[in-house]
Structure 1
Amino acid sequence: MGVYVETRIRTDLETLWDHTREPGRQQRWDLRFTEISPLSRTGPGEGPERFRYATRVLPFLVVVGTGVSAGERHRAGGDRVSALRFSSSDPRSLLAEGSGYWRFVPTPDGVRFLTGYDYRPRWGRFGRVVDRLFLRPLMGWATAWSFDRLRLWCERDIAPARSRDRWLLELAARVLLVAAPLTATVLPPGLPPLFAVPLAVLGLAAAVLVPPSSRAPAARRCLRTPPATAREPRLLATLAPPGAGDHRTTAPEDPS
């Protein structure tokens, strides 16, 4: 898959399943979505379920799309799987269509939670370049950051809005470490550039190297490289694209 993110969350399987499969809860922690609205439901968190999503790209720009998802709660190995297909007919959306999955693997101290997904960009060659240089790295970072925000919610009961605010405060402090010495050169009495530049470099080093707060989300806590054995669950192949109806063929359960 194009994007892979993995984390370990010290919580029970049912709690994590509800926090990810319930649209109202997912939109609270998932930075990639501003709103998720169910369009149809055929079962208690299993699917297939159709939904509409909206993402605020800029303060004045919101793109929308639709998706369909399904889940498997009862698998032979004790793990669970959720699969997704999505698309957007909005010409302003760089993401035309895509698919992915979540896998929930119980461990002795919690759940190994991972995702893999990929998508097709629009806008031709220009869109492919923008995707490779900007959007795909941003999507990977946003997914990992969101997973860590979900971890804080499940493990420490820190509400997603509160952990976001703590992250913003921490980000502002890191930016200030770099900007303050440079700003001081233009404010009276004026810090000589001979001192300002080294101080700014030291501030940049501190901003990069100081570990994030344990109560604020950080993408660096997640694994971003897929293991050699990673592969899509069979459920994904049985899921019809959005707009093709909610019909899903029956397939044997993927034992992996």
Structure 2
Amino acid sequence: MGRTDLYVEARIRADLDAVWSHTQEPSAHQRWDLRFTEISNLPRAEGEPQRFRYATRVLPFLTLAGTGVSAGEKESPDGTRTSALRFASPHPLSLLAEGSGYWRYLPDGDGVRFLTGYDYRPRWGRVGALVDRLVLRPLMGWATAWSFDRLRLWLERGIRPERALFNWLAELAVRALVVIVCCTGLGVESALRLLGPFAASGAYLCPLLLAVAICVALFKEPLAGTPAARRCLRRPPTRIRAPRLLRTLENPR
């Protein structure tokens, strides 16, 4: 893998060791990463790369699982750390067949530039390629960025991943409610009742106010305690190459 198709970068104001432990330890990783429901390390011999199992619950009755192999380079002369992995899922319903990627941890003043680049091969032939381009790949990019921001909130503000998810769902529900109320005409009726004797003159102003309310609900920056994919960089500032460490890993089977 040379230049990866998916790239996400977040700047986290936290200690490098804290970012490393929260991303390398499976029990912590599975809490903030929306893409996985379960991650567990498999037994390994001394000196071998770490193998792991991952699972994603797509529906209450459907869980897609796979295996992977990873290796980490904890120290380098400039203080950068790197983790590389290859992964594969044999499940016939998993559109994602196999792939590879890396994480980089770059010291940056009082924080860390935490970034990832990865790519994968979809299955199901041309149909799978089309579904991947239109649905899965954009969704994976968004989920990665959203998860990185959830990790940032955990390390910077002490907001637990479970609480961050609740904040996101609650804010999403409020925004959706505002749009529904404004679009169904209920918003107009409520606004006119509040205006009371000025309702007649306010009838001309209500549509404008409702349009403003809809725009705020749709486009306003999420609250500080709510994870948001938009806070992450989605394109590399310069040409990025996968680390040499990735070439040492064999494909998991």
The answer to whether the superposition gives a TM-score over 0.5 is yes
Alignment length (residue pairs): 240
Partner of residue 165, structure 2? 164
Unaligned runs of at least 5 residues, structure 2 = 193-203
Higher alpha-carbon deviation: 143-152 or 34-43: 34-43
Task: State the AA in 2 paired with 1:149.
Answer: R
Q: Is the 8 A contact 2:182 2:214 kept in 1?
A: no
Distance 1:95 1:197, change over 3 A: farther
* C-alpha distance 59-183 of structure 1, shift in aligned 2 (>3 A): farther
Letter of the 2:27 counterpart: G
Determine if the alignment matches structure 1 residue 14 to structure 2 residue 17.
yes
Question: Which residue of 218, 233, 236 maps to 1:223?
Answer: 233
The answer for unaligned runs of 5 or more in structure 1 is 244-256
Once the two structures are TM-superposed, the CA of residue 49 in structure 1 deviates from its matched residue by: 0.8
15, 22, 26: which one aligns with 1:23: 26
1:196 CA displacement = 8.9
**For the Cα contact (< 8 Å) 1:181–1:199, is it kept in 2?**
no
Q: Deviations over 1:23-79 (max 9, x none)?
A: 000000000000011112457xx9611111110122332111101111000112211
Q: 2:38 aligns with which of 17, 22, 35?
A: 35
State which of 206, 219, 232 in structure 2 corresponds to 1:209. 219
Superposition pairs for residues 90-109 of structure 1, below 5 Å? 90-109=91-110
Q: Using the alignment, how far apart are the partners of 2:206 and 2:34 within structure 1?
A: 36
Please show how residues 18-97 of structure 1 align to structure 2 within 5 Å. Answer: 18-41=21-44, 48-97=49-98
Amino acid at match of 1:222: C
SS, match of residue 154 in structure 1 = helix
Secondary structure of 1:50's counterpart equals strand
Shifted more, 27-36 versus 61-70: the winner is 61-70
CA RMSD after TM alignment: 2.5
How far, CA to CA, are the matches of 1:136 and 1:198 in structure 2? Answer: 37
**Structure 2: which amino acid aligns with 1:89?**
P
Bigger helix share: 2
1:123 maps to what in 2?
Answer: 124
Report how far residue 181 of structure 1 moved: 2.5
Scaled by the length of structure 1, what TM-score is found?
Answer: 0.86
Tell me which structure has the larger Cα radius of gyration: 2
Q: Kindly tell me: are residues 233 and 167 of structure 1, through their superposed partners in 2, closer, same or farther at Cα, counting changes over 3 Å?
A: same
- Which position in structure 2 is the counterpart of 1:181? 182
Give the TM-score taking structure 2 as reference length. 0.87
**Higher relative contact order at CA 8 Å, sep ≥6: structure 1 or structure 2?**
2
Query: Equivalent residue for 1:250?
Result: none
Verify the 8 A CA contact 2:104 2:114 in the aligned structure 1: yes
